[in-house]
Amino acid sequence: MNTVFVVGSLNIDQNVRVRSLPRSGETVSGTDATFSPGGKGANQAVAAARAGAAVEFMGAVGDDAHGRRILEILTQAGVDCSQVPVIEATPTGTAIIAVDDDGENLIIVSPGANSRLTEEDIDTFLSNVRSGDVLTLQLEIPSGLVRHAARQAKVRGALVVLNAAPAPAGIGGLFDDVDLLVVNEHEIQILAGLTGIPPADHRDLVRTLPELLGPRIVCTAGDEGAYTILDDALVHVPAPAVDATDTTGAGDTFIGYLAACLLAHPADLAGAMTLASRASALAVTRSGAMESIPWLHEVDPSLANPGSVIPS
Cα dihedral 180, 40, 272, 124 sign: positive
Cα 100 to Cα 22, 25, 28, 54, 64: the distances in Å are 9, 17, 11, 35, 30
- Residue 158's closest CA among 7, 278, 14, 20? 7
Whether 64 is catalytic is: no
Question: What is the distance of C-alpha 311 from the center of its chain?
Answer: 23
- Buried b / exposed e over 174-199, threshold 16 CB at 10 Å, is bbebbbbbbbbbebbbebbebeeeee
Secondary structure (DSSP) of 181-208 = EEEEHHHHHHHHHHTTPPP--HHHHHHH
Residue 208: half-sphere exposure toward Cβ, Cα within 13 Å:
16
From CA 115, how far away is CA 155, in angstroms rounded?
A: 25
Q: What is the dihedral of CA 98, 99, 105, 111, to 10 degrees?
A: 30
121, 179, 246, 252: which one is catalytic? 252
Using left for φ > 0, alpha for ψ between -120 and 50, and beta otherwise, residue 33 falls in beta
- Residue 117's closest CA among 98, 138, 131? 138
Backbone phi, psi, residue 309, to 5°: -120, -50
Check: CB of residue 140 under 8 Å from CB of residue 40.
Answer: yes
- Residue 246's closest CA among 273, 199, 281, 195? 281
From CA 213, how far away is CA 216, in angstroms rounded?
A: 9
Cα dihedral 121, 125, 127, 129 sign: negative
Catalytic residues: 252
